[in-house]
Every structure is written in structure tokens, then in C-alpha cells.
């Protein structure tokens, strides 16, 4: 019999692929089914001219594609061309955005003058959520840009039906407009018999516009049923000269609050995440986006885990190849 070479013997006695490598791959897959993300972003005069900037659209697409629902504020797009450009970028055939398809729902132009008409725009993933109601709040002399309220339904989230109320306040009227969100809550919760309401947007709820003393005049602060998820000391602005919690997320009721992942409400500083300069970030806006994550139903988590289990053999094979190839 021919002796077996020591070199060959050693090759066959390498330990199996390390478990941490396999677990890391599995954890990456699990992250995509861990929650349902809602985002809010003041995109600062987003119009056709800004949408023609490929670099800006690329950055904005990376931000929006992280969210199941993303509220955009300060959109100036009467003919819809700017939002269409963004949707085309989001829906292009690529694996980068996990195969999701996106649609939008826009308010009419809102404001006191034709020169300053802004829209609220919701962009959402059609696979995870659907629109089941919309309502334009229209009580006169309440807001400069009245909330365009939308009720969503998702079969994945612990709270299936929830209402999103956007607001981009007029800075000098911030105290009065934030207080009047209580009236909006009463109207829409009665309209849809649903108290799972989230308020989000650029409230200007900080610094000189809303002081500690002003909070005593705001019912959303005084009523303990409303939870402010973004703290007063959080900086939601990009500029070096400001440090203000202008942008906020507020939820009503204990059931909705319990359906939110703890500590998931935060500023998304994509300059760090995407390794972009301050100049690149300021191309889009002088605000950072906010995000919050809803917990998923057990069934949705199990479905996600089942898909992951189907992919596990391939992940294990790939990790094995990575481990063995350098040693062959």
C-alpha cells in the first residue's frame, strides 16, 4: 500500500468551519425580518431640480429604502415628477433594496401662498403595508400646512392598523400648531375608530421655537397618554451651528407604545452609516431623518425564519468554501 502523505493528512484534519462565521451570516439574514421601520424626513424643498441631481437621488434612495413607510416633508412637486424620479430609483431591478416595490401617496400643495406650497408624501413598501384610509385635515386657521392623515394596515406588525399624522410646522406658530394636533387626534380617532395614532415630522419643537415654559400650553405634552419618543436634547439637524430637537415622533396610548421596539426611535445619521461628508448630506437637507421600529407578529417572525432556514444550506456551503479554499 502506498503511504498517505503527511501533507494530505494534514489537509483533511483541519477543523470544520468556525461556528461564528456561520452565525454571522445567519444574523445578517435575520436582521431583515426583525421589525417594521417607519421614518420621517424633512427633505428641504425637494423639487424637480433636486431630483435631477443623480448623486442626491442616490443618497435619498439609500435612506428611504431602509423604511417600510417613509414620510417626506417639504416636497415642492406639483406635477409629481420629482417623486416619480425617486420611485423609479427605488423600483429599479436590483437586489440592493431587497426586492421591495414602492408606491407613494401625496397630499395637495399646502401653505399660505402659491410661492410656498408644500406636500406631505408617504412612500411605502407594497409587500409589507397598504393604505386603508386618507384624510386631509381642513379646519381653517389651525395650521399653515394642515396634516394629511393616512391610516395604514400591515399584517406583519403587532398593531395591524395605525394612523400616521404628519406635521411640518410654521416655526413662529410651532407652539399653537403642535397643541392643535390634539384636535386632529380626536377627529381621526373617531373617524376610523382607532386610537393607535403616531405624529411625526419637523415640529420645530425645540430651541427658540418651543421652550420648556411653552410645553405647559401643549396638550400633547400635558396628556400622559402621549409619549414623546425623541428626547428634548437630541439634535436632529445637520449643521454645526444648531443643536435642536426640531423633528419628533409622538405616539398615543399604551397598546401602540408597547408595539414599538424599545429604544428604536432615533436619528438616523447616515453621514456615518454611508460614510458621506457633511456637504453630501446637506445636498439633501439640513435635517437628519428619524426612524422608529414596530415589533412584528410572531407569525411574521416565523415566516421570516422559515425563509432564512431555506437559505441556510447555501450559507453554510459558502462559509465552508471561504474556510477551506485558502487551505487547499
* Interatomic CA distance for residues 318 and 17, integer angstroms: 10
The Cα 178–Cα 54 span in angstroms is 35
To the query of whether residue 168 is one of the catalytic residues in this protein, the response is yes
The reply to whether 115 belongs to the active site is: yes
Rounded CA gap, 314 and 197, in Å? 42
Rounded distance, CA 286 to CA 289, Å?
A: 10
Pick the closest to residue 154 from 303, 304, 300, 308 (CA basis).
Answer: 300
Cα distances (angstroms) measured from residue 121 to each of 63, 156, 186: 15, 23, 23
3-state secondary structure at position 249: strand
- Catalytic residue, candidates 98, 100, 115, 135: 115
Given the residues 168, 204, 252, 287, select the one marked as catalytic: 168
| In the chain, beta strands by DSSP E | 36-46, 69-75, 102-106, 119-125, 130-136, 148-153, 161-166, 197-202, 226-228, 247-252, 266-267, 290-294
Q: Indicate which residues carry an active-site annotation.
A: 115, 168
Amino acid at each position: 500500500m502506498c503511504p498517505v502523505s503527511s501533507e494530505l493528512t494534514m489537509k483533511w484534519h483541519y477543523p470544520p468551519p468556525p461556528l461564528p462565521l456561520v452565525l454571522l451570516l445567519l444574523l445578517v439574514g435575520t436582521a431583515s425580518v426583525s421589525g417594521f421601520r417607519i421614518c420621517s424626513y424633512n427633505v428641504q424643498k425637494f423639487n424637480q431640480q433636486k431630483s435631477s441631481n443623480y448623486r442626491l437621488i442616490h443618497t435619498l434612495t439609500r435612506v428611504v429604502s431602509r423604511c417600510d413607510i417613509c414620510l417626506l416633508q417639504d416636497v415642492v412637486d406639483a406635477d409629481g415628477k420629482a417623486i416619480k424620479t425617486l420611485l423609479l430609483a427605488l423600483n429599479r431591478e436590483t437586489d440592493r433594496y431587497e426586492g421591495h416595490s414602492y408606491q407613494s401617496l401625496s397630499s395637495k400643495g399646502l401653505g399660505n401662498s402659491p410661492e410656498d406650497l408644500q406636500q406631505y408624501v408617504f412612500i411605502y413598501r407594497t409587500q409589507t403595508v397598504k393604505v386603508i384610509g386618507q384624510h386631509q385635515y381642513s379646519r381653517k386657521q389651525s395650521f399653515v400646512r394642515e396634516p394629511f392623515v393616512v391610516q395604514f394596515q400591515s399584517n406583519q406588525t403587532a398593531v395591524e392598523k395605525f394612523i400616521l399624522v404628519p406635521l411640518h410646522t410654521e416655526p413662529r406658530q410651532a407652539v399653537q400648531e403642535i397643541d392643535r394636533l390634539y384636535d386632529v387626534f380626536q377627529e381621526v380617532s373617531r373617524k376610523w375608530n382607532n386610537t393607535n395614532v403616531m405624529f411625526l415630522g419637523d415640529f420645530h419643537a425645540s430651541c427658540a421655537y418651543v421652550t420648556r415654559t411653552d410645553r405647559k400650553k401643549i396638550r400633547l405634552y400635558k396628556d400622559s397618554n402621549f409619549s414623546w419618543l425623541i428626547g428634548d436634547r437630541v439634535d436632529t439637524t445637520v449643521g454645526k451651528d444648531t443643536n435642536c430637537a426640531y423633528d419628533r415622533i409622538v405616539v398615543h396610548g399604551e397598546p401602540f407604545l408597547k408595539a414599538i421596539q424599545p429604544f428604536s426611535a432615533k436619528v438616523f445619521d447616515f453621514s456615518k452609516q454611508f460614510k458621506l461628508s457633511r456637504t453630501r448630506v446637506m445636498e439633501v437637507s439640513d435635517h437628519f431623518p428619524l426612524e422608529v421600529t414596530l415589533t412584528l407578529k410572531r407569525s411574521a417572525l416565523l415566516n421570516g425564519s422559515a425563509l432564512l432556514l431555506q437559505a441556510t444550506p447555501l450559507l453554510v456551503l459558502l462559509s465552508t468554501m471561504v474556510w477551506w479554499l485558502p487551505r487547499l
